[in-house]
Amino acid sequence: MDAPAGTSLGDVTLGELRLAARNHGMPLEALRYAVTPVGLHYLLVHYDIPAVDPQSWRLTLGGAVERTLSPSLADLRAMPAVTRPVTLECAGNGRALLGPRPVSQPWLTEAVGTGEWTGVPLRVLLDEAGLRDDCVELLFTGLDRGLEGGVEQNYERSLPRPDALGDDAILAYELNGEPLPPQHGAPLRLVMAGWYGMAHVKWLGTITALTEPFRGYQQEVGYRLYDSEGKAGARLTRMRPRSLTIPPGLPDFMTRERFLDVGPCRLEGRAWSGWGRVERVEVSVDGGCTWDDAQLGEPVGDRAWRGWSYVWQAQVPGSYVISSRATDAAGHTQPVEPPWNLKGYANNEIERVPVTVRGGA
């Protein structure tokens, strides 16, 4: 079979390994924490972490506004603040499970985490600057710079005006009660609760009110679902539903296969969706042939994951595949067959956790 350009049917390449060694996932056992400890939160950095001096740093908010603003970090900290637990997932999560494999950061399923973000609602700052009537989008430009697809660029993305003015947009300067660490966007990042990771621009330098839609790389080329002819289609916005299980039992060092003993096994996990509250999680222990409802916990927040649990009576030694499947309030659920697309985005296929149940002592 011929794989499309930019994909691979073989082993992970050195280029993918280089990215994977820089950008780590959340070890899935960390699903046990309602709020992910900072060092366990997944990490994705397109270029380099920029050197930013928080003392001299200022945010510039300009373009189609009545007043250009350039607040310091102290100015922003003096403004009204909100704190919100938000589940963040990379749009490329699940990419390496696709065949052929789109060659980029080779995520399996662990590009997720839930942070407690503190900052100024973006609307507060936009109101202070006064958006002109002809402003249609807000552009968020990071201080990090690199080359991608042959284009030298700062990482930057825009939001439509109504989304930027909504409750989900926060200019965050703290994560889990501490100043942002360098890798997560210090001193200031955008948090766009419910949206895939690419929208949450880190290391903010400028915000520009635009009178025309932004046509830069991360909007036009990146973060779109490509059709079979390789034409860029829909832009990615909110996260599709996904449920993951805390890996049960003991892992094998190299294969990561799980080993359990015969008897009751309490399965636990967390599920989220950017389209609404998770209303249902089902569990299967036979590779998706039969499903049972899990018990749901309270969501950690209105834009954060929700815990679930299920007691499995593992009575017969042998091989099993554990799966869980989330359904959200909007009726979206998870597919068995991954929705293949050229850049490997939004693959929320149902997880498969192979386990071996061992008999007697």
Binding site for ligand MTE (CB under 6 A): 41-46, 88, 90, 142, 144, 155, 184, 197-198, 200-203
Separation of alpha carbons 58 and 187, rounded Å: 10
- Which listed option, Mo ion, ligand MTE, none, makes contact with residue 84 (CB within 5 to 8 Å by class)? none
Choose between 157 and 325: whose C-beta lies nearer to Mo ion: 157
State the burial class of residue 89 (Cβ atoms within 10 Å of its Cβ: 0-12, 13-18, 19+). buried
Least distance from C-beta 189 to ligand MTE, angstroms? 7
Least distance from C-beta 336 to Mo ion, angstroms? 24
Choose between 184 and 270: whose C-beta lies nearer to ligand MTE: 184
Which of 143, 139, 115 is closest to 203 using CA atoms? 143
- Which listed option, Mo ion, ligand MTE, none, makes contact with residue 125 (CB within 5 to 8 Å by class)? none
Least distance from C-beta 42 to ligand MTE, angstroms? 5
Choose between 149 and 264: whose C-beta lies nearer to Mo ion: 149
Least distance from C-beta 38 to Mo ion, angstroms? 18
Which of 135, 126, 141 is closest to 218 using CA atoms? 141
Choose between 323 and 341: whose C-beta lies nearer to ligand MTE: 341
Q: What angle do CA 348, 19, 255 make, to 5 degrees?
A: 65
Q: What are the residues binding Mo ion (CB under 5 A)?
A: 44, 90, 197-198
Choose between 110 and 282: whose C-beta lies nearer to Mo ion: 110
- Which listed option, ligand MTE, Mo ion, none, makes contact with residue 155 (CB within 5 to 8 Å by class)? ligand MTE
Least distance from C-beta 231 to Mo ion, angstroms? 22
- Label residues 99-133 b or e (16+ Cβ within 10 Å = b): ebbbbbbbbebbbbbbbbbbbbbbebbbeebebee
Choose between 182 and 287: whose C-beta lies nearer to ligand MTE: 182
Least distance from C-beta 278 to ligand MTE, angstroms? 21
Separation of alpha carbons 24 and 43, rounded Å: 5
Separation of alpha carbons 122 and 54, rounded Å: 20
State the burial class of residue 178 (Cβ atoms within 10 Å of its Cβ: 0-12, 13-18, 19+). exposed
- Which listed option, ligand MTE, Mo ion, none, makes contact with residue 320 (CB within 5 to 8 Å by class)? none
- Which listed option, Mo ion, ligand MTE, none, makes contact with residue 201 (CB within 5 to 8 Å by class)? ligand MTE
Residue of minimal CB distance from Mo ion? 90
**CB contact set of 118 (below 8 Å; sequence gap of 6+):** 81, 82, 83, 172, 173, 174, 175, 177
Least distance from C-beta 305 to ligand MTE, angstroms? 15
Choose between 46 and 325: whose C-beta lies nearer to ligand MTE: 46
Other CB atoms within a 10 A radius of the CB of residue 250 amount to 13
State the burial class of residue 172 (Cβ atoms within 10 Å of its Cβ: 0-12, 13-18, 19+). buried
- Which residue bears the tokens 């494999």? 101
Separation of alpha carbons 357 and 262, rounded Å: 6
- Which listed option, ligand MTE, Mo ion, none, makes contact with residue 294 (CB within 5 to 8 Å by class)? none
